[in-house]
Structures are given as C-alpha cells and as structure tokens.
A and B are shown apart, each in its own frame.
Chain A
Amino acid sequence: MLGWIDTLLQGILLGGLYSLYATGLSVIFGIMRLVNLAHGDLIVLGAFLILAATSAGVPLIVACAVVVPLMFALGYALQAVLLNRALGRNILPPLLITFGLSIIVQNGLLETFSADTRRLDIGHLQSASLPLGGGIAIGVMPLIGLGAAIAVILLLNALFYRTAVGRAFRATSDDVEIAQLMGINNRSIYALTMGISLAVCALAAFFLGTRANFDPSIGPARLLYAFEAVIIGGLGSLWGTLAGGIVVGLAQTIGAHIDPEWQLLSGHIAFLIVLVIRPRGLFPRAVD
C-alpha cells in the first residue's frame, strides 16, 4: 500500500517535469498551430548549454540565468529567420523544417559533446528529500520542478490574460487575419511565442539535467512525452497541459511499478486510451 502511495507521489512529481517539457509546446500549438518536431532536441540542447557553462566554471544558477534568455533569443531568431518564411495553409514546410532541425541539433550535439551520458551537478540537493512519515519521502528537486511548472503556467497566464501584449497573442491565436487588420504584426508575435517556448525549454532542461542522465539522443522521447501531455490536457489550456503531464507521469510510474520494462509503454498507452475516449483531451479549450 505504502509502495503504491509512493508510486503515485513520484508519478505526480514526474508529471511536473513533463509539464515543463510540454508547456513550451502547448504555447506554440495554441498561438501558431505549429508543431515543433525539434522541441525535445532543443530541451537537450538547453541542458548541454547549461553543462558547457558550468564546465567553464560558471555557477549553475548563473548558467541557467544566462541560458534561459539565450534560448529565448534562439527561439526568436529561429521563428523570424526560418519558420516565418514557411507560414501558410500547407503544414508540410514548417513540419519538415523542424524535422530537419531536429536532426541537425541532435547530430550537432553528438559531434560537439559525444554520445557520453552527462548530468548537471547540484551537490547535496541532488539527493535531498523531505520525509513524509511512514517511510515515504519526496525528493526536494522534483518538488521544486513541480513548483516551477506551476509558476511558469501562472506567469504565462498572467502574461496572456492581463497584459496588452497578451491580448495581441490571444487575438493572433483566435484569428490571424483580423488581428493583422487591427495592426498586430503576427510575425513578431510568432517570433516572441517561439522565444517563450524555448525559454521554458531551457528551464525544463535544468530540471532534466539535474534529475537524470542525459545524452544527445534522448530528445525525441521528450518530444513525445510533451506532445502526449498537450493532447491529453486539451489544446489551448496550460492547466490542461499540467494535468496531461501528470497523467503521463503517473501512467509511467504505475507501469514501472508493475514491471520496469513497461514504464515507457504504459505512458504511450495512456495517451492512446485518452485519445480514444476523449479525442479533444481532458480540458479542451481551443477548437482545432
């Protein structure tokens, strides 16, 4: 019984991390209807950037503080230079551009950092945990990760629903042409959106790198978890994405509890089941 409670707690905490992966994807889905197949690889890129900075002697927190805006700039440039050129009714060009980008990032990391597994070192925090009694304890870092996921969603919702630029984001999401008529430059909105998405990726990269080992090949799997969280949660709702991340996290830890080999499979199967019984996700908001 205690084992199960522990499993459920771990699942929710893992879900917090998946929600961090997914929030950036959810934002670009919601505003641009764009699918970024390089999303997972860009998270891994963020982790390697943080790693490179810390290996150069920069303290971890400072490294993150540098990499988050750096990834924002990268996202802005990526959208402004590449993806904005491929906008249109045909979804193939943006999809294949991000697919090509995924292969470039993955192999570029392989070439630069080799296939060795790495980890971000956070000293004693790594293994710190809070005892909850009855032999159950939860890790401090996973808890901070879940807190960060919630904080990011609160922050983004405040941005989208309480600021003037947020209104422009929502207008562009609702109807690009009308938004353009109202004087909104949709291209710069899109570039900002991709910037935000990659900034969240950088934050997710920090929690990825401190939680487990990473290497250049693990990006695509992160993309799939993030995507599943977004679809399970329902398009257009960031709280839904958090819930979706927790569903994937719970499914994985429950599967692993039954048989360690079933961890990944049970996450995917939970996604397929939700798709069958609630094709629009648990908390659908946008129609698309």
Chain B
Amino acid sequence: MKGDETHKRFSVARETRASTITLILAVPAIIVLFALPAFASRVLLQELFYVFTMLSLAQLWNLLAGSAGLISVGQQAFVGVGAYALFAFAVIAGLDAVLSIVLSGALAGLVAIPAALIVFRLRGAYFAIGTWVVAEVCRLVLAQVKQLGGGTGTSLPPDVASSIVGLDFVRNFFAVRGPAARDMMVYWLALLLALGTFALVYRLLRSRHGLALSALGDSETAAESTGVDVFRTKFLIYVLTAVATGMVGALIFLQKARISPDAAFSLIDWTAYVIFIVVIGGIGSMEGPIIGVAIFYLLQYYLAALGSWYLMLLGGLAIVLMLFAPSGIWGVISHSLGISLFPVRRRLVTITGSGPEHGGKG
C-alpha cells in the first residue's frame, strides 16, 4: 500500500471488528481448553475428543468441497488408511504412537497422489463417486492384510497407547491412573490437531492459493486465463487434505484401540456425518463447521439412540437445508448481519472516515 492519491483514501483489509474480537476471545478459550484435563471428568474429555476430531474432518471436507469444489464422498479412504497405518507403524514396526500419527498422515498423502491422478480425470459429480471407488479399493486391499487382522480387524496392544511420549509425566503430574492419563494425552492431541487443521485451512484460504481457489469457484476458465494453475491448485489441496485427514484417522483409532475395515472405512461415520456437519453449519465458511459440529453433537447426544430413524432424520434435514438454505446456518447469519469471524475475503475500506467500517464484500 504505497501512498499515492488513490491509496490515501482506500485500503484493502480483511480484518473486521468482529474478527478482532473473536481473535482476542480465542486466546483465553484455547488456554482453558488446554487446561481442561486438570479439572474435567474423563467422560467430558472423551466427548470433546469426538467433537474435536469431527470438527477437524469437517474443516478439511469443507476446504475440499466448499473452497476447491472437489466434492468427495470418499474421504473415509484417508481416515481408514491413516488408521491402518497407525496400527502398522505402532504395532508391527513398534514406533512411538505420536510419531506413528505423523507418519500415518504422510502415508495417507502418498496414497492420495496416485488417487488424485486417477480421480481428477472425472469431473464434478462423477468425481464424487470416483473418490468412493478409491475408498472401496483401499478398504478391500487392507481387508486382505492378515497382519492387520484381515477382514475382521484387530486390537491395539495396551502397551502401545501407554508408551506415548510424556504419558508417565502426565500420570505423575496429575496423579492419575494409566487410562485416565491416556485420555488426557489423546484429548490434547485431538485439540492440537483441530487447532492445527483450523490454522492450516485459514492460512491456506488467506494465501495466494486461497485467492486462486475463490477465482476457480467463480469461473475455472477465467481463473486459468489469469494464470491460475487449476490442476496444481486442486492437486495440492487434495493431497494436503489427505495428509491431515490421515492424521485425524490415526488419532481416532489410537483412541478406539480397535480397528476393522468396516469401521475404518465407514461411509456414515467419516463422510456422511462430516458432510452433514458442514452443510448444516454452512459450507464454504470457516465458521460453518464449528456451528455444525455443535448442532451435530447435540443431535447425536439426544437422538442417536433412535438408530435408523436418527439417520433418516439427518438425511431429511440435509435435504431440506439444501433446498431452502444451501449456505447453511452460518450463511443465513452472516448474510443478514454481515459479520465474519474468520474473514478470508479482502474488502475495500475507506481510511478517511472514522475508521474501517464501510466497504462491500469482495
């Protein structure tokens, strides 16, 4: 922003008053979340573990579908590959559980490279089913691996989860027993992954790749003509998402301590629920998945006992929402109030007024 005549009066900004307030409030909130294991019950930690992992998966799917236009119904492929990789690294290779999570993410990314090269040949809605086929292939291949339990699955030996780096320190520091200390460790890991995923998506959307993505969303042809490499941008997003999804999958199954092909590659658990969270909260915004996961958690808590009626209700809600409010709850709120807590768009603001208030969305 060099100071010539025009730039004295206008400036490009992304921060809004709401976003600054959010940022200030986020710091103590995150501190409280990190300190929570000191006084919260184990049940609460386990519930929050579920919320954080689902939130991470939702942010990642939202990045793929909402920002990059890559509507995948096959993200369970990378949850499952990450989960199985964790078992392979931790049980067969005997590595530390935390290191195994990182390596599992890397492996999921490696699987995503050939997968992307194949399914990127399919466009739009066909891409969606293509990703599903990839997930089926991963499931069927891993069900053949006898060392990992084959089709029926296997359990994580107790010594793996109790060998996490720092577990002994946590146990002594909080004077708790092994399983409680384990719950704390996986809780912190889930919180770290959720924050890391959030930061990754937020930074990515505010980078030049984010700008490229929003250009792609408007018109692929126009974006390409201004120098956006469509394939490279989408490929990068797809592989990055797979790495993070794989890490979340590894962590989920470290906590579950039991794996089977059907559980690790579950379409309902790792894709249908995730899509529901994003769609009800608001696709294409950072705030959407946060609202979505809260609503999903409440529905799950009160109605999951209804079994198949619960699933029908979720399906019905998703349909109604797609028809009447395709931008979700956050879409309705931000449209009517004009606020943005995690702004990724650049706005034009006047400097010569009392402050950065006006300006359209750009």
A220 & B141 in contact (Cβ 8 Å cutoff): no
Given that A86-B322, A86-B323, A92-B283 are known contacts, is A269 also in contact with B137, CB under 8 Å in the complex? yes
Chain B residue at minimal CB-CB distance from A94: B125
What CA separation (Å) do A206 and B108 show in the bound complex? Answer: 41
B125 & A100 in contact (Cβ 8 Å cutoff): no
B137 & A265 in contact (Cβ 8 Å cutoff): yes
A107 & B144 in contact (Cβ 8 Å cutoff): no
What CA separation (Å) do A37 and B267 show in the bound complex? Answer: 13
A100 & B316 in contact (Cβ 8 Å cutoff): yes
B141 & A35 in contact (Cβ 8 Å cutoff): no
Residue-wise, chain B 252-273 has the 8 Å CB interface mask toward A (1 for contact) of 0000000000000001100010
B51: chain A residues at CB < 8 Å are none
Chain B residue at minimal CB-CB distance from A263: B140
Chain B residue at minimal CB-CB distance from A88: B326
Classify chain B's interface size. 35 or more
Interface centre among A103, A223, A288 (most CB of B within 10 A): A103
Which A70-104 residues have a C-beta within 8 angstroms of B?
A: 82, 85-86, 90-97, 99-104
Q: Is B294 an interface residue (CB 8 A)?
A: no
Q: Is A108 an interface residue (CB 8 A)?
A: yes
What CA separation (Å) do A107 and B279 show in the bound complex? Answer: 20
Chain A residue at minimal CB-CB distance from B283: A92
Residue-wise, chain A 250-262 has the 8 Å CB interface mask toward B (1 for contact) of 0000000000010
B140 & A264 in contact (Cβ 8 Å cutoff): yes
A224 & B279 in contact (Cβ 8 Å cutoff): no
What CA separation (Å) do A272 and B116 show in the bound complex? Answer: 12
Q: Is B89 an interface residue (CB 8 A)?
A: no
What CA separation (Å) do A153 and B196 show in the bound complex? Answer: 53
Given that A35-B125, A220-B267 are known contacts, is A99 also in contact with B136, CB under 8 Å in the complex? no
A96 & B318 in contact (Cβ 8 Å cutoff): yes
Residue-wise, chain B 51-87 has the 8 Å CB interface mask toward A (1 for contact) of 0000000000000010000010100000000000000
A110 & B308 in contact (Cβ 8 Å cutoff): yes
Q: Is A275 an interface residue (CB 8 A)?
A: yes
Given that A265-B137, A265-B141, A272-B133 are known contacts, is A97 also in contact with B122, CB under 8 Å in the complex? no
B317: chain A residues at CB < 8 Å are 100
What CA separation (Å) do A268 and B136 show in the bound complex? Answer: 8
What CA separation (Å) do A75 and B79 show in the bound complex? Answer: 35
Q: Is A190 an interface residue (CB 8 A)?
A: no
Given that A92-B71, A265-B141, A268-B137 are known contacts, is A101 also in contact with B319, CB under 8 Å in the complex? yes
Interchain CB contact (< 8 A) of B140 among A33, A95, A268: A268
Residue-wise, chain B 126-141 has the 8 Å CB interface mask toward A (1 for contact) of 1011101110110011
Interface centre among A86, A102, A265 (most CB of B within 10 A): A265
Classify chain A's interface size. 35 or more
Q: Is B23 an interface residue (CB 8 A)?
A: no
B119: chain A residues at CB < 8 Å are 275
Given that A92-B71, A99-B272 are known contacts, is A275 also in contact with B322, CB under 8 Å in the complex? no
B326 & A107 in contact (Cβ 8 Å cutoff): no
A111 & B309 in contact (Cβ 8 Å cutoff): yes
What CA separation (Å) do A157 and B275 show in the bound complex? Answer: 38
Given that A93-B322, A103-B314 are known contacts, is A231 also in contact with B122, CB under 8 Å in the complex? yes
B316 & A104 in contact (Cβ 8 Å cutoff): yes
A107 & B323 in contact (Cβ 8 Å cutoff): no
A215: chain B residues at CB < 8 Å are none
Chain A residue at minimal CB-CB distance from B119: A275
Interchain CB contact (< 8 A) of A224 among B136, B283, B319, B322: B136
Q: Is A5 an interface residue (CB 8 A)?
A: no
Nearest CB on B from A195, distance (A): 20
What CA separation (Å) do A23 and B86 show in the bound complex? Answer: 41
Q: Is B359 an interface residue (CB 8 A)?
A: no
B132: chain A residues at CB < 8 Å are 220, 224
Q: Is B361 an interface residue (CB 8 A)?
A: no
A107 & B133 in contact (Cβ 8 Å cutoff): no
Q: Is B123 an interface residue (CB 8 A)?
A: yes
Q: Which 9 interchain pairs have the tightest Cβ spacing?
A: A35-B125, A107-B308, A103-B315, A100-B315, A279-B121, A100-B318, A100-B319, A104-B315, A265-B140
Q: What are some 7 contacts across the A-B interface (CB < 8 A)?
A: A100-B318, A111-B309, A223-B129, A231-B122, A231-B126, A275-B122, A276-B121
- If A35-B126, A95-B125, A100-B314 are given as contacts, then 19 extra A-B residue pairs at C-beta distance below 8 Å, sorted by A number, are A35-B129, A92-B65, A92-B322, A93-B323, A93-B326, A99-B73, A100-B322, A107-B308, A107-B315, A108-B312, A224-B132, A224-B133, A228-B133, A264-B136, A265-B137, A265-B144, A268-B140, A271-B133, A276-B118
Residues of A within 8 A of B (CB): 33-35, 37, 82, 85-86, 90-97, 99-104, 107-108, 110-111, 220, 223-224, 227-228, 231, 261, 264-265, 268-269, 271-272, 275-276, 279, 288
